[in-house]
Amino acid sequence: MRKGKILENAKVLFSSKERETSAEFLKSVYKDLKLNYPKFFKMDLLSKLGFIASELLFRNDSIPASTALIFANSNSSLQTDENYFESMSSFPSPGLFVYTLPNIMLGEISIRHQLISENCFLIMETFDAELFENQILANIAAEDGAKAVCGWVDLHSDEYDVFLSLISAEGELPFNAENLQNLYCSK
């Protein structure tokens, strides 16, 4: 998900008609997917991005409860931190404060899909395919037949960059850092 566009396996799945803010974009996609999940509206933008992307990723598959979530981004929860910081001068909001941690999106995704699985949220300056590869292999090896999601969900100055990839024992493309990097870079 980048600049108002969603690609699924390199095909355009959704494209905004006009330039929207990230909040408007997410609302349009939510409607387009005909989702009915009231908790969505309580989430901060970062969690909404991760949530929508995982809805798309999981929509055609059954997802085992052991599916590991290995996520990262560059800007942590900075945009929400700034919003919470503003609320501090009037009434500090617990509903905002809880989202000032980037791994909250892993909780949201786990609740939605009932995943009682490994979580890891890393901060990387840019998408680091080798580090993802290392962490995903380590977590998949720990459980036989386990799947993993490699997730990059970054938000800064209302610009978003979201890439999710499902890693499992089946599939066409071998899992390695090079293929992961190429997928992330594909436009």
Q: Is 71 left (phi over 0), alpha (psi -120 to 50) or beta?
A: beta
Kindly state whether residue 177 participates in binding another protein, applying the rule CB under 8 A.
Answer: no
Kindly state whether residue 85 participates in binding another protein, applying the rule CB under 8 A.
Answer: yes
Cα distance between residue 183 and residue 130, in whole Å: 13
Cα distance between residue 187 and residue 64, in whole Å: 29
How many residues form the binding site for another protein (CB under 8 A)? 48
Kindly state whether residue 35 participates in binding another protein, applying the rule CB under 8 A.
Answer: no
Minimum Å gap between C-beta 105 and another protein is: 8
Amino acid (one-letter) located at 114: Q
The residue from 56, 79, 108, 167 that contacts another protein (CB under 8 A) is 108
Binding to another protein in span 136-155, by CB under 8 A: 137-138, 142-143
- Looking at the DSSP bridge assignments, the partners of residue 131 are none
Q: Segment contacting another protein (CB under 8 A): 4-12, 21-29, 79-87, 166-174? A: 79-87
Outline where the chain has alpha helix (H): 22-32, 45-58, 78-87, 94-97, 104-113, 129-142, 177-185
Q: Tokens for 152?
A: 């990059």
Kindly state whether residue 1 participates in binding another protein, applying the rule CB under 8 A.
Answer: no
- Looking at the DSSP bridge assignments, the partners of residue 150 are 70, 165
Minimum Å gap between C-beta 44 and another protein is: 11
Cα distance between residue 174 and residue 148, in whole Å: 14
State the residues that interact with another protein by CB under 8 A.
65, 69, 74-76, 78, 81-82, 84-85, 88, 92-94, 97-98, 100-108, 110-111, 113-125, 128, 131, 134-135, 137-138, 142-143
